Amino acid sequence: MKYAVPRGTKDILPDDTPLWQFIEDTCRETFGLFNYREIRTPIFEATDVFTRSIGYTTDIVKKEMYTFPDRKGRSLTLRPEATASVVRAGLENNLITPDNLLKVYYLGPMFRYERPQAGRQRQFHQAGVEAFGSADPALDAEMIQLSVKLFERLGLKELEVDINSVGCKKCQPAYREALKKYFESNLANLCGDCRQRFELNPLRILDCKEAHCRKYIEQAPAMVDHLDAECKAHFSQVVGWLDHLLVKYKINDRLVRGLDYYTRTAFEIVSKQLGAQNAVCGGGRYDDLVEEMGGKSVPAIGFAAGLERVVEILKAESRQSKIENRIGLFIATIGDEARQVGFHLLTKAREKGISADIDFQGKSLKAQMKAADRLGARYVYIIGDDELKNKSAVLKNMGTAEQKEVSFGELLSVFVK
Ligand code: ATP
Ligand code: MG
């Protein structure tokens, strides 16, 4: 084989696209129920859009971005996530202002140079929502409820919602100090990455996935014990609203997110149906990001779901067999003249909205019947010389094998009832 798909990327082939379409449709529908509207931003942005917002000390900015100069030497980056792009677009188009409540969603590919493994690719797909213009804890709870509803509607089971508060600019510094003090004595036992994180941003250590680091992380001081009064009140109201909405959750005081812009509420949904990469969605509040990116002070919250991981779960449950790729009608023909008539009927069928096809490989009748079966055609219409004379042919129901004579003129009425 001369060419291969780039490492960490995958083709999504026609057998799988119906499952992807089901997932995308369910995302759009569910986001719509909560009054989110779609936004589409470019797949690449000026590199600065990401470096500043996501944070210089994060894994994403340090080692995972696809950054390249364009032909005029401008630094561009394939989006590793969409929040920064949405903020950029919202500000540029004046949609994000302190008095406007903006609810938007997106779907699409993201790019991170990560080590490919199950549930982790270099091009992967996310569906996410962002809400700007409110710090109301009810909005946090509504968004968590939305993410749970989404996965329920997709058919995922055994989900767990983890929530935490990561505080704000005012209370985080003291917590960072407390973490530094704690990790200082264990520094030699942490991985190389964590030793760097210790210098740059000790909060990042809590996100380390190395088993031997996790041992020390378990004992580390918790952010909840360092929240200031406002953050504490906000978190307890989020929890109160979740109780009110009957959303089940677990408070996980180790939870931090992989991006620097998060403040206060952070949440993740993990699925017990997945292996090591078990998070199907992550999100949280980012009350300072809009201002950091040049806007006014506008509080905001969002989450992103990883669609490959949803696909993995649904495939394991063989849900995709229910979503079949079928066509309505296959027209099998014998001889040139029959094929011409067949094409005419094919055109009419398509005009009526019936998905239909015909042979293009000079196949025998038997082989055409086989091809129709493989396509999952519901009906096959078989035209030969006699049929041309009588302007009538056999229509075979491929499900029941039942056959009946139907005239050319009546053919489409069988479908349109
Ligand atoms: P993880 O801890 O799994 O690396 P993250 O903290 O990097 O996730 P986010 O950046 O918040 O995650 O992305 C949200 C979701 O996108 C994740 O929960 C996951 O389902 C999915 N995701 C993130 N990175 C990848 C990837 N490289 N390949 C596939 N899915 C991914
Ligand atoms: Mg990650």
Q: Domain locations in the chain?
A: 17-171+227-320, 329-414
227 CA from centroid of ligand 1 (Å) = 26
Residue nearest to atom 6 of ligand 1 (CA): 258
Number of C-beta neighbours around residue 319 at 10 A: 16
Pairing of strands 263-271, 159-165: antiparallel
Q: Check if 17-171+227-320 and 329-414 are the same fold.
A: no
pTM of this structure: 0.91
Cα torsion at 31, 32, 37, 43 (round to 10°)? 40
CA distances to 135, 141, 289, 356, 416 from 331, rounded to whole Å, are: 60, 54, 58, 8, 17
> What pLDDT is stored for residue 417 in this prediction?
55
The ligand 1 atom nearest the CA atom of 279: 18
* 201 Cβ neighbours under 8 A, 6+ residues apart: 55, 57, 176, 260
198 CA from centroid of ligand 2 (Å) = 18
DSSP H or E run through 210: none
The interaxial angle of helices 137-154 and 17-33, nearest 10 deg, is 150
> What pLDDT is stored for residue 392 in this prediction?
96
The ligand 1 atom nearest the CA atom of 309: 20
Phi, psi of 373 (to 5 degrees): -65, -45
120 C-beta closer than 6 A to ligand 1 = yes
261 CA from centroid of ligand 2 (Å) = 15
Which ligand does the CA of 280 lie closest to? 1
What CATH architecture does domain 329-414 belong to? 3-Layer(aba) Sandwich (3.40)
Residue 54 buriedness (CB in 10 A; 0-12 / 13-18 / 19+): buried
Long-range Cβ pairs for the range 384-388 (8 Å, 24+): 384/333, 384/334, 384/335, 384/338, 385/334, 385/335, 385/337, 385/338, 387/338, 388/337, 388/338, 388/341
380 C-beta closer than 6 A to ligand 1 = no
Residue type for position 291:
E
257 labeled part of a ligand binding site: yes
79 C-beta closer than 6 A to ligand 1 = no
Spatial separation of the C-alpha atoms in residues 85 and 42, rounded to whole Å: 8
Alpha helices in 245-335 (DSSP H): 289-292, 307-316
CA distances to 196, 346, 358, 360 from 385, rounded to whole Å, are: 79, 18, 17, 19
Contact 44, 77 (CB under 8 A): yes
Between the two ends of the chain, the Cα-to-Cα distance in Å is 49
Residue nearest to atom 18 of ligand 1 (CA): 281
> What pLDDT is stored for residue 240 in this prediction?
98
> Looking at the DSSP assignment, which residues form a beta bridge with residue 393?
406
> What pLDDT is stored for residue 180 in this prediction?
92
> What pLDDT is stored for residue 37 in this prediction?
98
> What pLDDT is stored for residue 416 in this prediction?
65
Per-residue pLDDT of the chain (417 residues), as tens digits, is: 899 999 999 999 998 999 999 999 999 999 999 999 999 999 999 999 999 899 888 889 989 999 999 999 999 999 999 999 999 999 999 999 999 999 999 999 999 999 999 889 999 999 999 999 999 999 999 999 999 999 999 999 899 999 999 999 999 999 999 999 999 988 888 999 899 889 888 888 998 888 889 888 989 999 999 999 999 999 999 999 999 999 999 999 989 887 788 999 999 999 988 887 789 999 999 999 999 999 999 999 999 999 999 999 999 887 555 546 589 999 999 999 999 999 999 999 999 999 999 999 999 999 999 999 999 999 999 999 999 999 999 999 999 999 999 999 999 988 765
Number of C-beta neighbours around residue 40 at 10 A: 13
109 C-beta closer than 6 A to ligand 1 = no
> What pLDDT is stored for residue 258 in this prediction?
75
Answer positive or negative: Cα dihedral of 92, 302, 28, 80: positive
> What pLDDT is stored for residue 317 in this prediction?
82
> What pLDDT is stored for residue 300 in this prediction?
98
**CATH of 17-171+227-320 among 3.30.930.10, 3.30.420.10, 3.30.460.80, 3.40.710.10:** 3.30.930.10
Phi, psi of 186 (to 5 degrees): -105, 5
* 313 Cβ neighbours under 8 A, 6+ residues apart: 156, 271, 273, 274, 280
